[in-house]
Amino acid sequence: MTVIPGVAILTGAYFFVTGQRFVTSENAFVKADKVAISTEVAGKLTAVEIREHEFVREGQVLFRIDDQPYRIALDETRALMQWIGNEVEALRATYRVKQAELSLAADDLAYFERSFKRRQLLLSRGNVSQERFDQARRNRDSARQKITILRQEIAQILTGLSGNPDLKVEDYPKYRRARAAFDRASLDFERTVIRAPTSGRVSKVTMEPGEFVKVAVPLFAIISDRAIWVEVNLKETQLTHVRLGQAVTVEIDAYPDVIWRATVDSISPATGAEFAILPPQNATGNWVKVVQRLPVRLAFEDAKGGPELRAGMSAEIKIDTQYEAVLPGFIKEALAWVRPKD
């Protein structure tokens, strides 16, 4: 007669001990990184190299934009660089000529200064006419004025040469500005060919050649195959013994005969309601307590080699928390009572 009560007690004890060890849920879904594809330059589509749901590899060409306007801009900035380089060389040559003229003018001034002083002495002795003295003074003053003008011209040329005629052409601000414009035009030209930033499958491809695309407007998405995980929304009461790193078994509804191994990767710091557009306002008189759910991320130990997982697939998970409840005293006494005696 003690067999049936004993079995019942043992069964109840087993479920009591192990019932809190495993956390299960059907509110789980496969997730993957989604990369929105847009363009960094505007223009008309000339070619679309991919089809809906096609698998693409990183670096593969997705589509092309008419590059003619950007090619023209590139040629224009290249010509501007060459023109500025020629202008710098012309300013250098002019600077050297003005320096030579300044040296010659300095020699002329020294000669006219000596001539003026000599005529001034002769005029004081009455040995030269006033006219010849005035001519000597005029020559001296003209030489001084010429040197002043040459120095101003040289200063103006040096301004165009950033104060240093010995700099490399590439170091002058005007050339660097033209170089930056050329680099920008070159970058825009390269961006007319849009490549896949990651490997995965494309989704929502609806564009066709001839359409005009704008900058930063999402055109379609790539569902990456590099980062795939499961997101399970657990009740807050289920998280009591859940810890990072715990083992998880995952079953995907699409593949009922396959079991994946995973681990608890992270637990959300907030419930889903906290991220809602209109979060709940609980500071009211009509408050009803509702069990909240928190997203938990499960990382696959090895998702490769099995059936292809796709974002959004439904899953069932089972977390082994390794937690074992302690039996109450009366259950222990009951187990001792049904235990066979020697």
pLDDT tens digit string along 140-191?
Answer: 999 999 999 999 999 999 988 888 888 888 999 999 999 999 999 999 999 9
Pick the CATH number of 69-187 from 3.40.1710, 1.20.58, 2.60.40, 1.10.1740: 1.20.58
Q: Which residues of 150-189 are buried (b: 16+ CB within 10 A; e: fewer)?
A: beebbeebeebbeeebeeebeebebbeebbebbeebeebb
- Comparing 4-18, 33-47, 56-70, 98-112, which segment has the lowest mean pLDDT? 4-18
In this prediction, residue 276 has a pLDDT band, given cuts at 50, 70 and 90, of confident
Whether 88 and 168 have beta carbons less than 8 Å apart is answered as no
pLDDT at position 290? 84
Q: What is the mean pLDDT of residues 219-225?
A: 94
Q: What percent of the chain is predicted at pLDDT more than 70?
A: 89
Fold (CATH) for 39-66+194-217: OB fold (Dihydrolipoamide Acetyltransferase, E2P) (2.40.50)
Structure tokens belonging to residue 79? 């010509």
- pTM of the predicted model, to two decimals? 0.73
Tell me the three state secondary structure of residue 99: helix
In this prediction, residue 118 has a pLDDT band, given cuts at 50, 70 and 90, of confident
Pick the CATH number of 20-33+225-331 from 2.40.30.170, 3.40.50.2020, 2.40.50.500, 3.90.1150.10: 2.40.30.170
For the chain, where do the domains classified as CATH 1.20.58 start and end? 69-187
For the chain, where do the domains classified as CATH 2.40.30.170 start and end? 20-33+225-331
In terms of pLDDT, which residue wins out, 283 or 320?
A: 320
In terms of pLDDT, which residue wins out, 82 or 280?
A: 82
- Comparing 9-13, 37-41, 224-228, which segment has the lowest mean pLDDT? 9-13
Q: 68-125 and 173-190 are packed helices; what angle lies between their axes, rounded to 10 degrees?
A: 170
Closest CA to 197 of 27, 22, 34: 34
In terms of pLDDT, which residue wins out, 17 or 263?
A: 263
Residues 6 or more apart whose CB falls under 8 angstroms from that of 9 comprise 331, 334, 335, 338
For the chain, where do the domains classified as CATH 2.40.50.100 start and end? 39-66+194-217
| Residue 135 confidence (pLDDT) above 80 | yes
In this prediction, residue 342 has a pLDDT band, given cuts at 50, 70 and 90, of very low
In terms of pLDDT, which residue wins out, 72 or 128?
A: 72
How far apart CA 13 and CA 74 sit, in angstroms, is: 79
pLDDT at position 332? 54
Average pLDDT over all residues of the chain: 88
